A = this chain, B = another copy of it.
């Protein structure tokens, strides 16, 4: 355990409004942008009643840089004003992990 390299998970949960024009295209654009950021490790998402998107990052500084990236800021504004009915963001530090051996 002691040699496990901690990293960070940004847990984004949301519900959408009825007005999601442009949402899918913007989400794809922003994900492609995230993948190019320093410290980006991965992304997973699924949506049913709620959407859960998790991005993984090397450090908290990487997360802060990504949060303040210009195009991402614009997308955040559109998300707040139009697409998201509610959302919650949790910054968490991954301390242990277990993977199936299949």
Question: A47 to chain B: which residues have CB within 8 Å?
Answer: 46, 48
Main SS class of interface, A: strand
Contact indicator per residue, chain A 73-102, by CB within 8 Å of chain B (1) or not (0): 000000010001111111111111111101
**Does A13 belong to the interface (CB within 8 Å)?**
yes
What bracket does the count of chain A residues touching chain B fall in? 20 to 34
Roughly how many angstroms separate A102 CA and B81 CA in the complex, as a whole number? 10
Closest B residue, CB atoms, query A84: B100
Interface residue ranges of A20-53 to B (CB < 8 Å): 44-52
Assembled-state Cα–Cα distance A54/B94 (Å):
13
Which B residues touch A98, using CB under 8 A? 88-89
